[in-house]
Amino acid sequence: MGALQWGGRFSAAPDRELLSFASSLSDDLVLARYDVQCSLGHVEALVGGGIVSKVEAQLLRRSLHLVLDEIASGAFEQLARSSSAEDVHGLIDERVRELAGPAGERLHAGRSRNDQVATTLLLYAHDRGLLFAEMAENIAAILTGRAADELEAETMLAGATHWQPAQPVLLAFVLAAWAEPFVRAAQRFAAVAESATASCPLGSGALSGSTLPLDRQAAAAALGFRAPSRNALDAVGNRDAILDLAHAGVRAAVDASRIAEELVLWTAPAFGYARLGDAASTGSSLMPQKRNPDPFELVRARAAKLTGLYAGALATMCGLATSYHRDLQETKAAAIAVVEEALGVLSAFARAWRSVSFDRDRMSERAELGFTVATDVADALIADGVTARTAHAAVGAAVARAEEEGRALGAADLARIAQDSGLRGVRAPLGARESIAAKRTAGSTAPAEVRKHLTALRARA
């Protein structure tokens, strides 16, 4: 049982299959360098408390930095494949004992895997939170840049609700709307990163602290935490940061999925609004003509998958009392899986955007189809004193007539509506460009408002 961090009170070795069942080493490897950081912080706590000498501390630091080098080179992962350690934390402890000799036996003094894992997860959440924030900001910047191009080109389309033509909008307005969730995502990720370093669990022990004079303040400072945790029992079972990070990752993946859904449809010939270049498209093994938007379809599917994984991670917490329980190992594994795969989703989503192009003429030509200016006509009636309900009914009747006759709304329809409403005339936009220009409210699709929005996005993204 030499590879295990426990076993003194046992007279027989554990069942190998059960030990394998309980192992989390394959799930933990992504935490390796954060665990080394955690151990380096613990060395400062041991030195500060006089538990190890300065010479021993130097041996421990040197050994831990050697492990960091092995992690960076891939040698540590090779070692893990042949290890019987329960988790990455135990494997690193074992490796330090090999490298540091007798001094390595002192590394785990006053420390439990409970506070070790809790601290390591916070370091991981902080690092990944910053990485996620950068990725979300990059996606927002990509969309904002594309929006600026389309504003310059004055590209229009029929904005939709329920996938039915609704009102004419600028394509820049749509792209700016797509950028906004990623600005919010970046803010969520940054908040997780900041909260992860609020308090350091290291030194909490298994659940009640330690009788050894560990210098918790020194450990917290060395690891970049603002202070040691206030309550050991809470600290060892707290998984808020990693769950918050997983939640933010799922939210960002869902935001990407919603946009991906739109792009998948836009690239279909029936829409023909967008095209995905060769670098991001796939073909069919049977049908030679096919051009499939697989990256965006997979973004859509993986967002659904991540939602389920996150639900599982959260649900595992529901029946657990305060303190540490082995069930938390499964929460850790599921949350890490969400985080790592969400990073992949956002990376692929951003990369696929390099291959997206828009058919500006087709989009603009179809911006008026489906009576998208009808609301403008109703608004014109309301501006002349007609009630909203009366205006809605009058324009709805005009649309029904035009639809039966296979034509768009025209000047004759305005004249008839005016006569039926007791007005001398009605002046309303009958073209998509006029409809867009007529918008008056802040945050609308009017070119001046979209320009303001893009300026604000550049300042926030």
> pLDDT of 112-125, one tens digit each?
999 999 999 999 99
Residue 187 has pLDDT above 70, yes or no: yes
Confidence of residue 207 (pLDDT cuts 50, 70, 90): very high
Which pLDDT does position 84 carry in this prediction? 81
Please give the pLDDT value at position 40: 98
pLDDT interval class at 85 (50, 70, 90): confident
User: What number is the average pLDDT over the span 419-443?
Assistant: 94
Q: What is the dihedral of CA 40, 45, 47, 51, to 10 degrees?
A: -120
What share of residues in the chain are helix, strand, coil (percent, to 5)?
A: 65, 5, 30
Known catalytic residues are 162, 284
Contacts 24+ apart (CB under 8 A), 26-31: 26/80, 27/332, 27/333, 27/336, 27/337, 28/87, 28/88, 28/89, 28/332, 29/77, 29/80, 29/88, 30/124, 30/336, 30/340, 31/88, 31/120, 31/121, 31/124, 31/336
CATH class of the domain at 114-155+170-362 = mainly alpha
Q: Any idea where the domains of the chain sit in the sequence? A: 17-109, 114-155+170-362
Is the pLDDT reported for residue 461 higher than 80? no
- pLDDT at position 180 is 98
Task: Report the alpha-carbon distance of residue 409 to residue 421 in Å, rounded.
Answer: 17
Q: How confident is the model over 193-204, as pLDDT tens digits?
A: 999 999 999 999
Instruction: Dump pLDDT digits (tens) for 216-260.
Output: 999 999 999 999 999 999 999 999 999 999 999 999 999 999 999
Which tens digits make up the pLDDT trace of 58-68? 999 999 999 99
Task: Check pLDDT > 70 for residue 12.
Answer: yes
- Superfamily of segment(s) 17-109: Fumarase/aspartase (N-terminal domain) (1.10.275.10)
pLDDT, residue 1, reads 41
Question: What was the pLDDT predicted at 7?
Answer: 61
Report whether 3 contacts 84 (CB < 8 A).
yes
**Mean pLDDT of the region 129-148:** 98
